[in-house]
Structure formats: C-alpha cells, structure tokens
Amino acid sequence: MSTIATNPLRRPGASGALSGQLGPGKVRPPSPTKHRRTGLIGLAVLLIVGSAAVAGLLAVRMDSRSAVLVAGRPIAVGQQITNADLRETRVASEGLALIPTSNSGQVIGKYAAQAIPEGRLLDAGMLQQQGYLVAGMVAVGVAVPSTRMPASGLQQGDRVQIIQVIQGVPKVLVDSAVVSTPAASGSGSSGGLMSGGSPGSGSAAVATVIVAAADAPAVAAGSATNQLSLVLVARGSQLGG
C-alpha cells in the first residue's frame, strides 16, 4: 500500500511571517509608544535647560544690587551720626547717589542736615561736616514752663523764637533759635520731644537751644528768672536753614 504524504495545514502564527517575525532584510517600523517616549524626554530636557537659564538670570540680577546704607532708626536734624544709627540694605542703585556700605566710615561722625526717618536710603546731601555749634554760635540751657510753649511740644531741630515776658510786656530775645536737645520735663516726655502742658500745670521743661554768642547772656538771665516763652517758627528745619 502506498502512502500519500500530505503537508500539515499551517496555523496562523506558526510561520515567521504570520507570527510577526520579519524575514531577512526587513526592518520593523518604530512603534507609536517609542515616539511618545522620545518626545517626553526632549520636553523634559528643554524644561531643565529653561529652568537653569531663569535661575542664572535671577542670580545675575541679584548680584547687580548694591549694598547701601539706610537709617536704622530716626535721626534728628543736627544729630551726630553713630554706627548704631546705620544698617545695610541691597538695592539696584544705578543712577542714584546712595552711600555704599563700604563707605560707612565716611558717614559716622557727620551730622544730619535734615530729619531722616527710619529706613530712608542715605545720600551725601543729607549730611554735613558740622553740627549746630559753628563759629559764633553757642548752646544755652533754658527752663520753660509747659504753658509757655506749643501744646504739641518741641523736638530736636525745631526753630523757635525766644521771648522774654516781664510784667506782661514781651521782648524778643532771639528771633530764630534751634532746639538742639529737648529734655524730659516734670510732666514727662519721650522720643526726643519736649512736651507742652495744659493751663494750670506748673511743670517746666529744660532744653538746649543754639543761639548767637551775643544773645546768650540775655537768654540765660531770662531762664534764671522764669521769664521765657518759646514760640515754634518751623518744625524740624534743615541744619543751617
């Protein structure tokens, strides 16, 4: 008996072509998943590079700010400046005549030519080499009852008129004196302020005023005899103004 050789049926996936295997010389096309992965990697690289560039730019801008001096607390006109009055801050000072922190030695020992509030950036125009006691000027201590000055009080740098009152008759002793050092009165004061008082209060305030040397004897005599009144002319005026 003769046998007939038959080829078995090929099932799907049995051969290389049907199972997804490529024949010789064939290249599998890239899958969509690989495309997406490559795109995400590129985007991540761009984000990293961009973040580094922004950080570098911010660092450059920070480095461009200069360390300058500011008032660490209020400085009264005519006050001699000490290290305790100063502190440092960093600002973009291009085009501004501010004082670098490295020049603090040129500021300490000078005098405020104007009232300088806390936090104000300092420049050379706010300073003077001399205080109140320039040639021909002297400092005199005066005691003035609280009812003979403004109720709002007086503070360092104020300009006042000194009036002597004898039996109700006024006489101007000094037309424009500067309050150099207001002191605490019997009713109490604070913050460099010489306080006025209400009628009937007998407290007296003692302050130092800057007057011409020729006027000093009359002012001292008027203070000793309790005959002086102070009239506010200008609040916190500039030194030498």
Q: DSSP assignment, residue 148?
A: G
* 65 touches 80 (CB < 8 A): no
The two tokens of residue 84 are: 């305790």
Q: Which residues contact 110 (CB under 8 A, 6 or more apart)?
A: 80, 81, 127, 128, 129
Entry pTM: 0.57
Average pLDDT of the chain to the nearest whole number? 78
Give the C-alpha distances (Å, rounded to integers) separating 24 from 13, 46, 146: 17, 39, 113
Element spanning 76, H or E: none
Collapsing DSSP to helix, strand or coil, 209 comes out as strand
- The top-scoring range by mean pLDDT among 36-45, 184-193, 209-218 is 209-218
Give me the count of residues in the chain: 241
* 223 touches 215 (CB < 8 A): no
Across 202-235, b (16+ Cβ under 10 Å) vs e yields eebbbbbbbbeeebbebbbebbeeebbbbebeee
Q: What residues does each domain of the chain span?
A: 66-128, 137-234
Residues 215 and 136: their CA atoms lie apart, in Å, by: 10
Q: For the residues 116-132, what does the mean pLDDT come to?
A: 91
Residue 157 has pLDDT above 70, yes or no: yes
What pLDDT is recorded for position 183?
A: 54
Residue that wins the pLDDT comparison between 234 and 38: 234
- The top-scoring range by mean pLDDT among 47-51, 118-122, 155-159 is 118-122
Residues 140 and 219: their CA atoms lie apart, in Å, by: 8
Percent of the chain residues past pLDDT 70, beyond the cut? 67
pLDDT band at 210 (very low <50, low <70, confident <90, very high): very high
Highest CATH level, class, for 66-128: alpha beta
Neighbours of 236 (CB within 10 A): 15
pLDDT band at 17 (very low <50, low <70, confident <90, very high): very low
Least confident of 60-64, 193-197, 207-211: 193-197
